[in-house]
Amino acid sequence: MRGGVLVNGKPAKASYHVRHGDHIRVTPPAPTHPDPVPEDIPLDVLYEDEFLAVVNKPADMVVHPAKATGRARWSTPSASTSPSSSDLNGDYRPGIVHRLDRDTSGVIIIAKQDVAHRDLSMQFETRKIFKEYIALTAGVLDRDSDYIEGRIGHHKHDRIKMTIADDRGRGRAGRVQLL
């Protein structure tokens, strides 16, 4: 966005080097999508207190609203029509600490306060919260159970699918247990 950054009251070039004493004003661009509208949808809430909610997410439910749907359960603290959540991710993904794909069922944590959101995010980032996935497979396996460890990333040709990445530069470290 042109003019979105002013240095000392004047538009700045991207190559400008900030100097001591400069006054910087940043005007973020307007969102390109509407804010989500909270809905009272039925959820299997396993635990809830003033800091967080733990929800058993069914398959075929999105964790945060798709741009086309704008659906949400929790709202940012400014809204009074539904339970509040952290606004660290902005109005579009309120309280979302981590996510599960639409077709994946499982437990998800929703932060209701900014401090809890930061702490939970750090625990996920440092792998202090361990996520375990169980996957259905097709074909004949030569074992009763096993683990696949590798970098999990988007499929090269189908961005919706996830796969074990074939090089170290793509994806995040992960482990899948085969039962």
Kindly state the tokens that stand for 164: 């074990």
List the beta strands (DSSP E) in 27-127. 37-38, 44-48, 52-57, 71-72, 106-111
In three-state form (DSSP H/G/I as H, E/B as E, the rest C), the secondary structure along 72-125 is ECCECCCCCCCCECCCCCCCCCCCECCCCCCCCCEEEEEECCHHHHHHHHHHHH
Q: Which residue has the tokens 């794909």?
A: 101
CA distance 135 to 103: 12
**Among the options 35, 101, 114, 119, which is catalytic?**
101
101 catalytic per annotation: yes
Which residues have a catalytic role annotated?
A: 101
